[in-house]
Each structure stands twice: as structure tokens, then as C-alpha cells.
Amino acid sequence: MSNFNSRQRKIVYGILIVLLLGPIVYLGFPAQQIAGGRDSGGLGKLAQMRSRYDLGEATLGKVDPSSSAMNLVLLGLRGPAASVLHLQAIEYQEKKQWAKLRATVDSIILLQPHYVQIWKFQGWNLAYNVSREWDRVDDRFYWVKEGIKFLMEGTVRNNTIPILFHNVGEFVSSKMGISDEKKFFREFFREDPDPKFDTSTGVHGPDPAINEKGLDSYLVARDWFFKANEKDENDGLAGVKGMTHVFFRAGPVKAQMSYAETRAKEGFFVDHQAEWEKGYREWMDVYGKYDFLGLNEKKYKLNSSEDELKVLAKENGIKVSEQRKLWDQNVTMVNYNFWRDYADVERDPAMLEVHKAFYDAKQAYLEGKGTEDFDKETNTVIASKAQVMLEKAMALWLEVQKKYPVMFEDDRYISEALLMVKYWQAVHTLNARPIPSEYSLKSLWDSQGANKQLEIERDFLMETRARKVN
Amino acid sequence: MDFDIRPYNLAAGSTSWLIVIGVMLAIAVGLAFLLSVARNGATGISVFSSGLVGYLGDMFSLSPKRIFALTKLTLLEAIRRKALFVFVGFAVLLMFSGWYLSDSNERPELQVQVHVTFLLTAIAWLLLPAVIFLSCWALPEDIRIRSLHTVVTKPARRVEIVIGRMLGMSLVTLFVLFGMGAAGYFWINRMIPEKSRGELTCRVPVFGELYFISPEGQPSAAGINVGDVWAYRSHIVGNSQARAVWNFANINEAALIKKEVNSDGSDATEIAQGLQLECRFEAFRTIKGSEKSVRLGVQAQYTLSDNPREEAFGMLSQGEALRPVADALRDAQFENASKLMVELAERIRTAPDELRPADYVGLQQGLSLAAAVLRSRKDTRLADVPELFEASAVAGFSVISTLRNNAVGNKTDVVPYEGLATALDSVAKGLATNAAGLLESLPKLEVPLPAFHISEYHEGADENLTFIPRKLRFSADYETQGRFLAAVIEEWNAAGKLAEGTALKATLADDLANGAKISPLNAELLVTVLQEQLTAGVLKCDAGKLIVADGRSWFTVLDSLIRAEKLIAQDSEGWMIEKDLLKDLTKDGFLRVEVACLNDQMYLGMARPDLFIRKPDRSFLIGYSKALLNISLMLLLIIVLGVTVSCIVKGPVALFFTLTFFIVGQFFHDFMMRKLTGAEQGMGTLESAVLIAQHRNPQVGMDVSSTTQSVLQGADKGLEGILWGFSKIVPDFTVFNRGSVFVENGFDVPFKEAVIPAIAVFLGFLFPCILLAGALLKFRELEAK
């Protein structure tokens, strides 16, 4: 080689380059050529293997060119760069530099787009920690949305990971449904206060990025839980990484029940029974009949008859008593029977009547219809509308209690009854009347401790803050 | 924004600079002399003196022509070395930055901040490596390839080579920076969405000084800590006496702006002159609050106040024992204050130990401040009260000095409590005697502005802006009402417009309504009350003048009538009074603004820069240019340092040296200064190392003998000395970032706080570096590799 002159050396280098290009092309032919259905003649070995073992980035989710560019530019220093960015993000958060925090989080994700925990953590951070730093409720809602949108982007970039889809459902469900600001957030979810989402008629519309059809938050959450369960079906794994499988699969049906429950609390009783019926059926026939794998990969179903237990025991190669134990453990863990019975009670038309009567009575009280009247002609006192309706609700409650005595020992039903009594007492106080020594729910009221009564008192005050005074 | 930058003290900085330069010059000359003598023996003296003379000769015979020729050469060389290629990197960054920035934030103010931060950071950090390489490599490379030899054989002085190099590289850098700045300006205008362009502006703030008043009325430097990790802001609790007080200086016509306002609630608007206040408060809730507050945010209220009594006696409220006296003085209850002060004096005389030493310190400080404020008013109605306060402050000083000496020296000297008690008795007597004069002389004027809901973290949001018209109409409190009516009556009485013969003028009510800006209903009430007092003999008419029968001042009479609720406004608005913002509320250019939080169990958090007077906004280009100026000064300083170091060492060493200077100056300067000033808690380097090795904490201390401990502590002192020396020669590179911080947050870059320090640091290093680099190049052997 040393005898070659410069020109000859260049020719040799050129030939070597072309020769080396062959194996590179053979190995690295792009995946798209293979996926096109044409015979690639053995080309693209690496792409084929990536596809076969689900190792390609494209199989994980949408590929972001900027993310790939950033990783390329960093020349293998992705780890240290991400660590520095994480530290920066923490500092920005401490110093309330929200714009920089958001931009830094985006940069981290460009570096580590398939690191599931980062999507979960930062999505949570934005929706829960950052949002609560803001004072005004519309600002809090904005950051809750940012967290949800961030996590949604995570599902696009990692569309084979069920837990991310589940988390989106969980965020929507819990932030809109049970947070301190739920009253506002549920409203904002359908009618976003940001004027840019106003409809052509000038009323607030939903943010299409999280609620395209303007649905109830629980219905949107349910859709995400469904998607999560679908991903779970298709990911080829027995369980789900990051969550106990039996809890994970309950997402859609729990959202359905919460939807039916919350609507009733907000005074929407149309289709109440149908929604609870749907919840009950899903709980019994879909969730209850799903094949879960318990300890030592033994199969069980939450809704199993004695015969089904025997069949499953045989299938698992264990004794029926062991199968029953396995079943019992999991039924207890997810409180399966309670939710079954709860849905069963709520789908009963009598229960709808109780809720409706109590809701109407509360509305009457809040609208200032708690004051009694006096009929001068007959010289009699006419009880207030609120009192009449409350007494009706209390009587109905007692009727249904006889039908479901066990379920009515649950705190939610007891609290509802006690609140009826509290309203009823308040109506008496309003009319300067002593509380009668006997009334329909007296024994229940008297059986409660002082703490429970105080709790009901507080609930009553919270609910009646906006009462009209005639 | 998380900074609290103070105006730079140029005089103090220059003095410190002169001292350091003088000391270093002396050390350098001394060292050179010793080295010369050590190397050459007795002839070293003449070698040294001829070298020094030659060096000084070079300094005083600089040729601009030669310098410019060398500058031109450097320019050409830099271009040949493809220094301008840095543009390509910048262009690539700008082209693809949209990938990373566009989706980050939907909100306009957040988008602008991210884009501006990116642009300024990109400009600084792209140029930085190019500048470091260029400045550190050029001279050593010239020496290596011997191209410098041809230059030094010409009549060019070596210091001229240094200056030429620095100038040439600086010009290249400035040229590139200007190009980047211009491209960046167009880029940012293009990248920021149309709807957010309005946010691309420079607010011009006038910051004030902040202190807090606790819920108990006690002044303090900080408010309540609500447990935030970041202790930048401190809080005031809502629905209490707690206040954050800002004092703004230099408030005059120039600070006013014109704004279209709707003053009467109708659709009509008018142009009014006034001050614009902007706040950036933080809210903290301990309860959820009402639906209204959840939707709209926590409520705050400003009160403009001119309150000499608060200024004079506020400090006295430090400590439980002194608070009753201070409160009485603040409320203008001077006779009551006199009695309380007698009681305090008696307590000091009979049971001095009931008061803590801190109470005596507080008392002394309070008395001293009261004396100073009262004296500054130069009001004869105060009689000898300022002097009495002064005397008691002196007596208080004797007490605290003796207490301190006794405590420190374990002595039992007699504490002169009696002297202090006697002085306080005199003050009490003075207060009682001159109560009327004090009341007249120390008027309190408070103008509460309408409450507003803060919009947390929304920079420049309308909710956070408050326009204060110059002509303020407000419902007066008792004291202001009394003073206003007294002034009207005195003025009208002097003009003979109140009475006719022995009775009030028949048309007085109408006249007052028309001429004194009093509502007709209130004017009628005033005339009725005056007539009642006239009938009751409290007032009398004499020769067409209305006079007070017992000779009291009009204010005293009216104040008693108001407090007897005889002058309760008949108008639903109350007693509306008009005051001028500059004439009535601003004293010697100072405007005092008190901030209160109105919601119970909620807090407002604030730091000094969180309330400012906003002057008319400036173009973004102005602030952006100043930020670029700061960046350019940073780059030029790096060139100066790089060239200086490269005069004596090779390229890689110079590079390492300059980079170290930059990293320490940029990232660790603040830590270094905090360590040296004791603000940073912890122990010395060696002590810390031992503690780490022993797995012990500073509270427990090292597990070593006392001798070892002394040795380690002594060694740490030595290391600290080295650190101190290092801190004097490492530039504080953070001063160059200040401009960017202001612009990123939508502010103009203030000259005194951000630009002057950058210029001063640059110049402070430029001159010594030229002298040093000239000497290093002159006395080095170029062939020595």
C-alpha cells in the first residue's frame, strides 16, 4: 500500500467503501420497504428483526424527528443531558418559572420519549403539583389540562403501553370528579373558560384536545379506560406493568358507575336507571367474567358460580378449596360484592325515587321554599314545600331500606338519610318550631355519634351556603 | 422573575478596585525586582530599572496607527480561521428551534418568555466557545509558527500587539454578535404568534423599598414564611393589620402617565394623568374560600398614605412592653400616650428586669427614630418634643451599653435605669403639654384604593394593573374629614365668607356646596351643626368672623364633633374629598403604598420587585439591545482574559485557564462570595472533609483532638485566604446575565442595576489586563517554547 501514490490510494478507498456499503444496505434496508408487502429479497435484515421482536421505534408509537435529531446531536450524552434537564425542571418548579418548566419537560421528553415513568411523573406533576400552585381556578384547570395533554402525547409516542392510557383516564376521572375543584372542573371540562374555545354563538365550548365531543368527564375517562383495556388485550402480556391487573381492568366500569352516581348528585335523573343497569351488567358480565391470572399464574374469574369454580380449579390443576381461596382473596381485594350490590340497589326504580325526592326537597329549601304558610280561612298552618318533600324522601328511604337492609348499613346511605334529617330540622328551625319528639328517621339520627352529626352539620352548611333568603 | 437587584454602587466599587489594583501592582513590581536581583545579582537592579523604564516608555508612546494596523491583521486572521462559521450554527439552531419551542406553552406570556430566553441563551453560548478558542489560541499559534517574530522586529511595541489583538478580536465578535442579534430580532418577531406579539414589550419599572408590618402592628424586614421551599417571597395574612409597605422614591411629574379612564361609570372616557402600579403577588390559601375568590383570586387592596406618626413612632412598637405607648402615639392619643409613658418610666424605675434587654434596644431605637423624624419636620408646633425624645434616646443608649458591657464582661455595673426613666418622664410631660401642637403637626392622610383580585403568575395582566389618577376622590376617615373641614372653615373665615354680623351667612350651605366641593347634603348638615354650636355658645360670631369661644383650634372642635357623630355624612358616598397625588400624598418625592390582603385565612406573598410603578412601556428592541450589550461585554472580557493569559502560556493552557475563570465566575462566584461573607453555612474545606470521612455533621463536630482541630482550622483559614485572593481576581460573570433576565421577564433593562455593573466589571479587568499582558509579552523570550 505504501507504494501506492495518492490517486491509487483514493481509488482503493473508494472500492472499499462500495464493498462495505453492500452489507450495510443488506442489513439496514429501511423497514418501510419490507412493510410495503413487496418481497425485499432478504434485504433489511435488521428491520425485519426489529419488526419481529417489536424493537423498532415505529412499533412503540409515533416517531418524532426532532427527538431523533436531538439524540443524534448529543452523541451518546443523552443520559447526562436528561439528568441536567431534570435538575433544571426541579429548580424552575421551585422558583415558579412555569414557562421554563413546561419547555424543559418537553425537552426531557425529546431525549427520552419511551421512558414511561417520565411521562407518568411529569404528567402528574403538571396536573397535580403545578396546577395547585396557581390561585385562580381557571388557571388550575389550564395546568390540569396541560398534564392530561402531556400524558395523551405520551400515549401517541408509546401506543403499546396500556398503563399510560389508563393514567389518562385516571387523571380525567379523578381531577374532574373528586378533586377539591371538582364543581368547577366538571363544568369547565364541558365549557372551557378559555375564550378561544367559545362556540360561534358565544358560549363556552370544550377544549377539543381533551374533550372533542363535549362529553361528561367520566364518559371521556371511560373511553380512555376502554382504550387501555384494548391495549392490554393486544400487548401479549398477562398483566400490566405498573398496576395490579384486577384493578386496572375495572377502569371502564368504575367510570360508568361514577358517571351514573355523579349525575344523580347533580340532579340529572334522565336515564339514571339505564346508566346504573349498564354499570351493573358490565360489572357482572364483562369485568366479572374476565379471566385474571392470580398467584402462580392460576386463572380466576371474579363472578364465578360454584360450578365455574370447579371448572377453573380443574383447568388450573388445583383443589376447589384452593380455587375458592384464590377467588375469595381477589373478590375481597377489589370489594367486588359491594360494587355489585351498590349497582344493584341503584338500578332499582325505588332508589331513583329516593334520590329524586331528596334532591327536589333540597332544591326547594335552597330556593327559599322552606317557610311554612298560614291559611287564614281554615286557620291552619300549611307546611312548607321543602318540609313536605323532605318527609316524602325520608319515608321513601325507609321503604327501600327494608328491601336492602344490608346495603343500607353503608355510610353513603346512612349519610344521605342523616342529611335529610338535618334539612328537615333546619326547616323546623327556620319556622321557629321545635323539633318533634318523634319522626321517621329519629332512631337512625340518635344512633349516630356526635362526630357523625357534626360531619353532617358541616355538609349541610357547605351545601346551603348559597341558599336564597326570602 | 426571581431577582432583587440593587443599583450598583459605582463609588464603592471603584474604591475597592483601586485598592486591589494598587496592592497587586505593588506585589508585581516587588516580585519583578526580587526576581531580577536573584537572577542577575547586583546588576539586577539596573536590569530591573531599565526594564521598568522601557515598559513605562512603551505605555506612554502608543501609536494608534500601529494599533489599527495590528487590529486589521487580527481581523483578517480571524476571518481566515473561519470564525464567522459560528453564524452557520446559529442559523441552524434558529431554523430548527421551532421543533422544540412551538408546542411548549399555549399562553402568550409563557411563549414569549421561552422564545426570548432561548434566543439570548443561544447567542451567548454559541459565541462563547468561538471567542474562547480565538482569544486563547491566536498568540501562542503566532509564536509557534514564528509569524509574531516578524511583527516584533518592526517598530511595533509589544503592548500594541496586545491591544491590537484584543481590539481585532473584539471587532470580529461584535460584528458576529450584531449579525446574530439582528437575525434573532427578526426571528423572534416571526416566531411569536400574532396574538402574542403584544407581550413582546419592555415594561419600565420603578422599584421601591419594602418592609412589613406584622398583624400586631410591628414593623419587620420580612413577613410570614408559609413553608415554601423558595424563601424569596414572604407573606402577609389576610383580614388583619398586617401590611406590606413600599416606599417609592423620586415620584414626580415624570413618573406619571396618561391613560384613558372611565371615571363616572358611564360610557364616556377621558384622558387622565396618574401613576400606574403593577403587582406580581403570590397567593397562599389555608382554606378553599368562597366561590367568588376561587373563581377570581385572592383580593388585595392598596392604601396610599402619608403618615408621619407611623414613620416616627412605628419602630417603638417592637416588644410587648412598648406596644401600648406606640399604639397611642400612632393614633394621635398624645395625652393617653403621655400617661402610658409615665407608667413605662415607673416600671423601668421600679422593676427594670421585667423588660427584656431586647425591649431596651427596641425602645432606644424607637426613641432615636422618633427624634430624627420629628426633628426633620422642622415644625415649631412640636416645641421641644424632638429634643426630649433625643435625650431619652441617649439615656436609653447608656442603659443598653451598660447592659451589654455587663453581659460581655461578666460585670455588675449599675445600669442607669433611673436616667432613662427620668428622660421618659420628660418626654411624657412634653407630650401632654404639646398634645395639640403634635396633633396639628402630624397629620395622617390615608387614601384607600378600590380592592382588586390578583391574577397570580400572569405577568402584566390587566387585573394586576392599577391606575391611580393624580386627582384622587375618596371617602375620608374621621381625621381627614376633620382636617379638611377645619381647613375650609379657616380659609372661608379668613375671607369673611362664613358669617354676617352675629349670624352665619344665610346662603352658606349653597356657597359651601359650590365653592368648597362639599356635596349639598353634607354642606347643609355642616351649616346646621355650626348653627347648633353657635346657639350652644361653643362658637360665636364676632365682627363677621366665626370664632371658637374657648380658643381651641378649629381642627380640635371639628374632631370632637365628628367623634360625637354629629357630622355623619348625609350623602351615601360619605365625605368625599379630593387630594392631589403629588402635592398631598408624595413627600420629598417619596410615595408610601401599603398593601393588605382582604381574605380571611389567606395570604399574599411578595418580594421587593413584586410591586412597581410602571412607566410607559418601551419597545422590545431597546431592552433586547441592552441585553445584547451585556452579552457583548461578557464576550469582550473573555477575549481580554484569553489574550492576557495567552501572552505567557501555550494555547491549551490558556484555554483551560480562561474556561476555568469563566466557569467559576459564572456558576460559583455567588457561592464563593457567600462562603467568604459567612452567608453560606458550613465549615472549612479540611474540616468538611474530616466530617464526611467520619460520617458526622457540623453540629456534632469532628471527632479529633483539640490540637488536630486547631491545626485543621488554621489550615482552613489559609485556604480561605487563598479563596479570598481568588475572589478578587475572578470576574463576576453573573452581572452580564442580568440584562437577559430582565428582558426574558418582559422588563426593560435598568441602566444602574444591570448595565453599569457590566461596564464597570469589564473596564475593571480591561486596564489591568492590558498592563499585565503588555508586561508578560515584553519580558518573555519568544523562542522559549
More confident residue, B260 or B754: B754
CB-based contact B523:B512 (threshold 8 Å)? yes
- Mean pLDDT (chain A) is 88
Chain A residue numbers touching B107 (CB-CB < 8 A): 99, 142
pLDDT at A338: 94
- Which residue type sits at B9? N
Distance CA B278, CA A405 (A): 62
In the numeric block, the cell 400617661 is attached to B339
Q: Which three cell numbers stand for residue B770?
A: 492590558
Distance CA B727, CA B748 (A): 30
Asked if the model's pLDDT at residue B82 lies above 80, the reply is no
The per-residue DSSP string of A199-262 comes to: -TTSS----TTT-TT---HHHHHHHHHHHHHHHHHHS--SSBTTB-HHHHTTHHHHHHHHHHHH
pLDDT at position A79: 87
- Checking if the pLDDT of A326 tops 80, the result is yes
Integer Cα distance of B431 and B386 in angstroms? 10
**Does the beta-carbon distance from A136 to B295 stay under 8 Å?**
yes
Q: Quote the pLDDT of residue B553.
A: 86
The per-residue pLDDT for A34 is 45
- Greatest mean pLDDT among A64-78, B130-144, B497-511, B614-628: B614-628
Q: What is the pLDDT of residue B264?
A: 62
- Higher confidence at residue B191 or residue B626? B626
- What is the pLDDT averaged over residues B729-733? 89
User: What's the 3-state SS for B564-604?
Assistant: CCCCCCCCCCCCEEEEECCCCCCECCEEEEEEEECCCCEEE
Question: What is the interface size between A and B, counted as CB pairs within 8 Å?
Answer: 71
**Residue A65 has what pLDDT?**
59
Q: Do residue B230 and residue A135 have CB atoms under 8 angstroms apart?
A: no
Mean pLDDT of chain B: 88
Q: What is the DSSP letter of B209?
A: E
Name the nearest CA neighbour of B5 among B734, B622, B716.
B734
The larger pLDDT score, comparing residue A38 to residue B94, is at B94
More confident residue, A58 or A445: A445
- Whether the per-residue pLDDT at A111 is higher than 90: the answer is no
**Yes or no, beta carbons of A135 and B229 under 8 Å apart:** no
Kindly provide the ipTM of the predicted complex, given to two decimals. Answer: 0.80
* Least confident range of B93-107, B255-269, B590-604: B93-107
Q: Quick check: B782 and B152 in contact, CB under 8 A?
A: yes
Q: Is the pLDDT of residue B88 over 80?
A: no
Which residues, at least 6 apart from B716, have a Cβ–Cβ distance to it below 8 Å? B683, B684, B685, B686, B687
Q: What is the pLDDT of residue B783?
A: 61
- On whether any CB of chain B is under 8 Å from the CB of A245, the answer is no
User: Facing residues of B49 across strands?
Assistant: none
- Find out whether B440 and B383 touch, Cβ atoms under 8 Å: no
Residue B248's φ and ψ, nearest 5 degrees, are -100, 135
Query: Rounded distance, CA A275 to CA A271, Å?
Result: 6
Q: Grid coordinates standing for A238? A: 398477562
Cβ atoms of A171 and A127 closer than 8 Å: yes
Given a contact cutoff of 8 angstroms between Cβ atoms, the answer to whether B104 and B200 are in contact is: no
**CB burial string B41-56: b at 16+ within 10 A, e below:** eeebeeebeebeeebe
Phi, psi torsion values for A303, nearest 5 degrees: -100, 85
Query: pLDDT at residue A333 above 90?
Result: yes
DSSP tag of A95: T
Spatial contact of A419 and A459, defined as CB atoms under 8 Å apart: yes
Question: pLDDT value at position B201?
Answer: 87
Q: What are phi and psi of B224, to 5 degrees?
A: -90, 140
Confirm or reject contact between A197 and chain B (CB < 8 A). no
Q: Which residue has the higher pLDDT, B59 or B626?
A: B626
Q: What chain A residue is nearest to B281 in terms of C-alpha separation?
A: A135
Residue B649: exposure state from Cβ atoms within 10 A (0-12, 13-18, ≥19): middle
Instruction: Please give the pLDDT value at position A64.
Output: 60
Task: Determine the pLDDT at residue B574.
Answer: 87
| A355: amino acid identity, one letter | H
pLDDT in tens, B382-401: 889 999 999 999 999 999 99
Among candidates B203, B229, B230, which has minimal Cα distance to B109? B203
For helices B158-191 and B620-646, what crossing angle results, to 10°?
150
Q: Note whether B382 and B308 are within 8 A (CB).
A: no
Q: CB–CB of A130/A101 below 8 Å?
A: yes
| Cell triple for B15 | 474604591
Q: Write out pLDDT tens, residues A250-276.
A: 999 999 999 999 999 888 998 899 999
Q: Do A99 and B99 touch (CB under 8 A)?
A: no
Predicted pLDDT at B113: 81
Distance from CA of A35 to the nearest CA of B (A): 28
For A45-93, how does the pLDDT look when each residue is reduced to its tens digit (9 = 90+)?
Answer: 777 777 666 666 666 655 565 566 666 666 678 888 899 899 999 999 9
Q: Which range has highest mean pLDDT (A17-31, A248-262, A295-309, B311-325)? A: A248-262
B579: Cα separation from own chain's centroid: 29
Decide if B418 touches A, using CB distance below 8 A: no
User: Is the pLDDT assigned to residue B97 strictly greater than 80?
Assistant: no
- In chain B, the N- to C-terminal Cα span, in Å, equals 50
The DSSP-derived string for B127-164 is HHHHHHHHHHHHHHHHHHTTHHHHHHHTT--HHHHHHH
The pLDDT of B67-95, averaged and rounded, is 76
The model's pTM is: 0.82
Establish if A107 touches chain B: CB-CB under 8 angstroms. yes
- pLDDT of B360 reads 92
Contacts of B456 in chain A (CB under 8 A): 134-136, 139
Is a pLDDT exceeding 90 seen at residue A322? yes
Q: What is the pLDDT of residue A463?
A: 84
Helix axes B158-191, B64-80, angle to 10 degrees: 50
Query: Which residues on chain B are in Cβ contact (under 8 Å) with A98?
Result: 110, 457
Residues B575-591, mean pLDDT to the nearest whole number: 91
Radius of gyration of chain B (CA): 35
Contacts of B121 (CB under 8 A, 6+ apart): B740
Helix, strand, coil percentages, rounded to 5, for chain B: 60, 15, 25
Which of A102, A110, A184 has its CB closest to that of B105? A102
d(C-alpha B642, C-alpha B638), whole Å: 6
Hey, what's the cell of A7? 490517486
Look at residue B377 and tell me whether its pLDDT is greater than 60: yes
pLDDT at A454: 92
Task: Give the span between the Cα atoms of B640 and B643, in whole angstroms.
Answer: 5
Contact status, residue B298 vs residue B454, Cβ threshold 8 Å: yes
Q: pLDDT per residue over B304-360, tens digit each?
A: 999 999 989 988 887 778 889 999 999 999 999 999 999 999 999 999 998 888 889
